[in-house]
Amino acid sequence: MHYNSLNHQSPIVDFKTATIKGQAPDKGLYFPEYIPKFPVGFIDNINIYSKEEIAFTAIQPFVGDSIPAIVLEQIVAETVNFNFPLVKVTDQISSLELFHGPTLAFKDVGARFMSRCLGYFVQGNNQPITVLVATSGDTGGAVASGFYDVEGVNVVILYPSGKVSSVQELQLTTLGKNIKAIEVEGNFDDCQNMVKQAFADEALNKALFLTSANSINVARWLPQQFYYLYAYQQWVDKTNHPVICVPSGNFGNICAGLVAHLQGLPIKHFIAAVNSNDSVAKYIANGLYQSQQAVSTISNAMDVGNPSNFIRILELFGNEYPVIKNIMSSYSISDDETKATLKRVNENTGYLTDPHGAVAFAALEKYLHIHSLEKGIFLETAHPVKFYDVVEPIIGQKVEVPISIKEILEKEKISVKMKAEYGLLKEYLIEEN
Ligand SMILES: *Cc1c(COP(=O)(O)O)cnc(C)c1O
C-alpha cells in the first residue's frame, strides 16, 4: 500500500515512511492510494473471528510490506488487549464502550498501535527517535501510556499548566522512564506553537530525530476501524444493520469508520455528533464548509473549529456533497442539551455517559426520532470518571472510580515547569538527548 499527500506536491510513500513522517513534506495529510475490500466471507462469518484476527485482517492491507505478518500479529494483539463491549441502553440504542483501555479513552487504540509500529521501525537505529506532542488532555495520556517503555523512543509531552483535569495530568506525569512531561505556563495554543516551532527548526532536526504523535498520523487514524467491526460483530440482528453515531472533534474516528464501511462493513448510516463547534454540521446542512475559531465546551476533546480529518472524508467520497450527505448526517448539541441528556439517560436507564457520549446519545436520538424503525449505536469514547468534575454536579452523586485510576491517584506527579518560550524547549530537548 502506498500513501499520497492530499496536497499532491510530495512523492508517494509506504506505510513506514508515512508513520515516521506523520505529515507529508508539502504539509498535506497522507491518504491511502486505494481503499481495499475485506476478504470474501470475512463479514458474513465475523462471529467466528477473535478480536485479534479481525484487527489483523482490517489493518494488514494498509501496512503492506512495511511490517512482516508475524510482527504485525504481535503489535495488533498488544493494541487490542482489552474489551470493546456493546451494551444495550434502550430498545433502540446501544453503547459501544471504548474506554476500557489503560487511559480510559478511545485514543488508546491508535496510540498503542502507532507506538509499537514506530518502535519496530526504529529498531537497529543508533539514534533514538523523539516523539514531541502537545496535548489538551486525552491525547497526552494515551501517547504516554502507548509509548511507555518502547525501546529507542523518547516522548516529550507539553501540556498547559492547570488546564487539564487532575486525572489527565496524573496520566501524563507519573510514568517516568522514557516519558517526560513539560508543564507549560500558558494555554494549549502556546504548547502547540512551541511544538510547531521545534518541527520547523532545521538545526534542531539535524541534531535530533523528531516526530509527532498527533491524530493525523495514519498509524493512529487507521486502526480506529476496529471499533466498527467489533460493533457489528456484537450486533445481534444482522438483517437490520445499525446506524452508528460518533462524537467527533478532529473527525479521525468517524473517518476510520467510513473507511471500514467502504471496505464492505454493513453500516446503514453514520451520524457525526458535534458540540457547538459545528463547521461540519453546517456543511452537511448546506454544502458549504467554513472553518471556525474553536469555542470551549464541556465535551472539550471535541472543541475543534477546523477538523483536520474532514479533508480525508471529502477525498473518500470524491468531494461529492450529495454522496456524503447520503451516508452521513450531523447534529450539533449545546452544552445545556448535553447536560440534560446525561442526567435524563442516567435517571431513566441507569446508564452513565461521559459528556462526549452524551453529545452522541442526543444526536442519535434526534436521528432515530425521524427514522423510527432503525436502531443505533453510539460510541462512548471516554469513561465518565475522566470528566468527574463535569459529571458529578449534573447527576448529583459521585462517579465510581475504577481501580486503575485509584492507583494513579496515589502516584507522584513529575513534570518540568516551563515558560511558554520556544528557546527554553529547544535548550531542554538538546540537553536531554
Ligand atoms: C479525541 C476525542 C473525541 C474526538 O475524536 P476525533 O477522532 O478527534 O473526532 C471524542 N471523544 C473523546 C473522549 C476524545 O478524547
Q: Report whether residue 420 contacts ligand 1, using a CB cutoff of 6 Å.
A: no
pLDDT at site 136:
76
Cα–Cα distance list, 147 to 63, 175, 247, 307, 390 (Å) = 19, 10, 25, 25, 29
Residue nearest to atom 11 of ligand 1 (CA): 381
Residue 67 CB less than 6 A away from ligand 1: no
Atom of ligand 1 nearest to the CA of 137: 15
| DSSP secondary structure string for all residues of 5-68 | ETTS-S--EEHHHHHHHSS-TTSPPEEESS---PPTTTTTTGGGS-HHHHHHHHHHHHHGGGS-
CB 302 near ligand 1, within 6 Å = yes
For residue 294, what pLDDT is reported? Answer: 84
pLDDT of residue 206: 87
- Alpha-carbon distance of 356 to 274, in angstroms, equals 9
- Residues facing 380 on adjacent strands: 97
Establish whether residue 247 lines the binding site of ligand 1, counting it when its CB lies within 6 angstroms of any ligand atom: yes
- pLDDT in the model for residue 392: 96
Q: Is 280 in the pocket of ligand 1 (CB under 6 A)?
A: no
Atom of ligand 1 nearest to the CA of 255: 7
CA of 423 from ligand 1 middle (Å) equals: 31
The grid cell for 39 is 476478504
| Maximum separation of any 2 CA atoms in the chain, in Å | 62
Rounded to an integer, what distance in angstroms lies between the CA atom of residue 98 and that of residue 234?
14
Q: Decide: 250 in ligand 1 pocket, CB within 6 A.
A: yes
Nearest atom of ligand 1 to the alpha carbon of 304? 8
pLDDT (0 to 100) of residue 300: 87
pLDDT at 167: 85
Is residue 252 within 6 Å of ligand 1 at its C-beta? yes
Query: How far is the C-alpha of 130 from the C-alpha of 155, rounded, in Å?
Result: 6
Nearest to 195 by CA among 432, 433, 367, 426: 426
Beta carbons within 10 angstroms of residue 162's beta carbon: 9
Task: Give me ligand 1 centre to Cα 45, in Å.
Answer: 30
- CA–centroid distance, 414 to ligand 1, in Å, is 26
Spacing, Cα 48 to ligand 1 middle (Å)? 30
- Give me the sign of the Cα torsion angle 21, 25, 31, 32: negative
Q: Is the CB of 220 under 6 A from ligand 1?
A: no
Q: pTM of the prediction?
A: 0.94
SS3 content of the chain, % helix, strand, coil (to 5): 45, 15, 35
Residues 148, 168: Cα–Cα separation, whole Å: 16
CA distance 115 to 119: 6
User: CA 358, CA 343: separation in Å to the nearest integer?
Assistant: 9
Whole-number Å distance, alpha carbon 124 to ligand 1 midpoint, is: 34
Say yes or no: CB of residue 382 within 6 Å of ligand 1: yes
Q: Is 245 helix (H, G, I), strand (E, B) or coil?
A: strand
C-alpha 344: how far from its chain's center? 27
Question: CA separation (Å) from 182 to 141, 157, 408?
Answer: 13, 6, 19
For residues 168 and 408, is the Cβ–Cβ distance under 8 A?
no
> How far, in Å, CA of 428 to CA of 34, rounded?
42
Cα of 248 from ligand 1 centre, angstroms: 6
Mutate to test the pocket of ligand 1, among 109, 227, 250, 277 (most ligand atoms within 8 A of CB): 250
Q: How far apart are CA 82 and CA 265, in angstroms?
A: 22
Amino acid at 266: P
DSSP state letter for 398:
P
Tell me if 308 CB under 6 Å of ligand 1: no
Q: 310 CB less than 6 Å from ligand 1?
A: no
| Å from CA of 31 to ligand 1 middle | 20
Q: Can you name the residues that pair with 156 across neighbouring β-strands?
A: 132, 180
Cα 382 to averaged position of ligand 1 atoms, centre (Å):
9
The pick from 356, 378, 387 for probing ligand 1's pocket by mutation, whose C-beta has the most ligand atoms within 8 angstroms, reads 356
Residue-level pLDDT, tens digit, the chain, 433 residues: 999 999 999 999 999 999 998 889 888 999 999 999 999 999 999 999 999 999 999 999 999 999 999 999 999 999 999 999 999 999 999 999 999 999 999 999 999 999 999 999 998 888 889 999 988 777 889 999 999 998 889 999 999 998 888 888 999 999 999 999 999 998 887 898 899 899 889 899 889 989 888 878 999 999 999 999 999 999 999 999 999 999 999 999 999 999 999 999 999 999 999 999 999 999 999 999 999 988 889 998 898 888 989 999 999 999 999 999 999 999 999 999 999 999 999 999 999 999 999 999 999 999 999 999 999 999 999 999 989 989 999 999 999 888 878 888 889 999 999 999 999 999 999 998 7
Ligand 1 in contact with 105 (CB < 6 A)? yes
Residue 249 CA to ligand 1 centre (angstroms): 6
